[in-house]
Amino acid sequence: MNVLDMYNEFRAKFPEITEKADAEHVKNWDEIDPEFAYSWFESLANAINQDMHKGVDAQVYKEVFDFLKTQYLLGDVKTKDCIDVSFTENMFWRVQPEKAKNYWLLFPDALKELYVNFHHREPA
């Protein structure tokens, strides 16, 4: 699967979360355009981070994390890079460890490894 296919499948499968990510994306990029699908996944991470700050139950994102793990494991090189750089590296940004803890527990091992390889530590 390529990045655009992953983006379109995500939008169809998770409309409520997509709406939150779109709002974050518009703040930084002014519009939603599939041409910027790669950077949209950074907006997804930012939307999830906002929900962590608000205390939203981490279980809401279990399917999202599992979806991204599967896409990472099965995707092409650009898809893997997108999940690593655009999504995973931006997760947990400026989130207090106690608010990140339950999300980290649900984060798939493959994505945890990417996060730790980049940040050299766990968020919680």
Domain count, the chain: 1
Within-domain flag for 40 = yes
Quick one: 43 exposed, middle or buried, by C-beta within 10 A (0-12, 13-18, 19+)? buried
Q: Which of 107, 121, 95, 102 is nearest to 68 (CA)?
A: 107
Q: Which of 115, 98, 20, 119 is nearest to 52 (CA)?
A: 98
Within-domain flag for 32 = yes
Q: How confident is the model at residue 37 (pLDDT cuts 50, 70, 90)?
A: very high
- State the pLDDT at residue 34: 85
Within-domain flag for 7 = yes
Residue 124 clears pLDDT 70, i.e. is over it: no
Within-domain flag for 124 = no
CA separation for the pair 42, 22 (Å, rounded):
11
Within-domain flag for 102 = yes
Within-domain flag for 94 = yes
Checking phi first, is residue 55 left (phi over 0); if not, alpha (psi -120 to 50) or beta? left
pLDDT: which is higher, 70 or 31? 70
Structural domain range at position 27:
3-119
- pTM of the entire structure? 0.95
